[in-house]
Amino acid sequence: MKLIATSLSTLGLLLTVSVTLSAADMTVARLYDSQLSIAESEIVPLVKAMPQASFNFAPTNGAFEKVRTFSSQAKHLATVLYMTASAAAGEKPPVDLGKGEDGPDSVMTKADVVAYVEGAFKYAHKTMNTLTAQNQLDLVPAPFPGMPPMARAAIANLGIWHSFDHYGQMVVYARMNKVIPPASMPAPPPAAKK
């Protein structure tokens, strides 16, 4: 069921991107990079908007035993983005990812987490821009142990939808701390004509 929901979500992103970009300008790299840009435009401002005092917040009221904190969500999101981008590129991650999918222990402060998340998106953009019609279906080792080889583009897409999965959780955490996600803020009024 989750795969169907993810596929529908991806299809929605593809339709949005296809309307935004003209067919003449579309390349495989642009297709995936534009989807990544949408995720980045919502996730990075949210991470920056969460106050330092709430950065280690995790819900406790309800079924929230052993869930990640807001900071841990952001680190996990960035770590998986590094993992998927490096796998799609067929190279080692450019930074220390720590153990597992939780990110390095050295990334602790809000400034560290913001820089880590921004670095992950920058690296993922580099990878997206290497995808072509010729290489997008090349099978490469999957980013997670025990998974069979995957197509480069499938791995790239995994990084995008996974980021949105955690973005949704981070939005809930932010709202529980009275932070309106920047992507939900009303647009500023138009400037007055002189």
Question: How far, in Å, CA of 187 to CA of 165, rounded?
Answer: 25
Nearest to 135 by CA among 151, 113, 122, 156: 151
The CB density around residue 62, as the number of other CB atoms within 10 Å, is 7
Q: Please, what are the averages of pLDDT over each run of 10 residues along the chain (194 residues)?
A: 48 52 73 95 97 94 90 97 96 94 95 98 96 94 94 95 95 96 88 78
Question: Exposure of 59 by Cβ count < 10 A (0-12 exposed, 13-18 middle, 19+ buried)?
Answer: middle
Fold of 2-10+26-184: Four Helix Bundle (Hemerythrin (Met), subunit A) (1.20.120)
Q: What are 69-121's pLDDT values in tens digits?
A: 999 999 999 999 999 999 999 999 999 999 989 999 999 999 999 999 999 99
Which residue ranges make up each domain of the chain?
2-10+26-184
CA 93 to chain centre: 16
Cα angle for residues 126, 100, 174 (degrees, 5° grid): 75
pTM of the model: 0.84
What DSSP element (H or E) covers 76? helix 70-89
